[in-house]
Amino acid sequence: MHDNRTDGPAIPSLKGRPWWAANEVLAFLVELAALACLFWWGFTLGDALVVQLLLGTALLALAITLWALFAAPRARVRLPLAGVLAVKAVVLGGGAFALYEVGHPVAAAVMAVVVVVNTGLAETFRRRTP
């Protein structure tokens, strides 16, 4: 299997790369928002508080596990770019879908656009020479 990633540090230096740094901060905030939205959606699926907490926590745990295994900068499993983007689409897109499902379609559309632009810029910045 061919890996397009370099053997450099998982998180490069921020010095001299303000747009890259700003986009990475935005990426982190989008990831946190997606996780929160997934928990929120899971919480709304049950009737009893215990079931709500279990469903919210289960969706959150699944998303965190997928991210840690396949999409994080220091992921346990190194997938080719297409695989990483697929996992990001599931988790981050899932966050936007979850936001839609809890009754916020405009916010969900905005989140989806931010996810696509942010991820595209992140991949562009990662492949450019500093």
Domain ranges of the chain: 18-127
Record the pTM: 0.81
User: Of 4 and 24, which is predicted with more confidence?
Assistant: 24
**Segment 110-127 mean pLDDT:** 89
CA distance 32 to 26: 10
Return mean pLDDT, the chain: 87
Q: How far apart are CA 84 and CA 80, in angstroms?
A: 6
Polymer length of the chain: 130
Q: Does residue 16 carry a pLDDT above 70?
A: no
pLDDT in tens, 19-41: 888 888 999 999 999 999 999 99
Asked whether the CA dihedral 100, 22, 86, 72 is positive or negative, the reply is negative
In angstroms, the first-to-last Cα distance of the chain is 26
How far apart CA 27 and CA 41 sit, in angstroms, is 21
38-59 exposure pattern, b = at least 16 Cβ within 10 A, e = fewer: bbbbbbeeeeeeeeeeebbeeb
| Three-point CA angle 53, 59, 61, nearest 5° | 95
What's the pLDDT tens digit per position in 53-90? 999 999 999 999 999 999 998 899 999 989 999 999 99
Q: What is the pLDDT of residue 52?
A: 95
CA nearest neighbour of 12 among 29, 30, 24, 1: 24
* Percentage above 90 pLDDT, the chain: 68
Mean pLDDT of 44-53: 94
**Which pLDDT belongs to residue 62?**
97
The CA R_g of the chain, rounded to the nearest whole Å, is 16
Tell whether the model's pLDDT for residue 122 goes beyond 90. Answer: no
Total Cβ atoms within 10 A of residue 111: 23
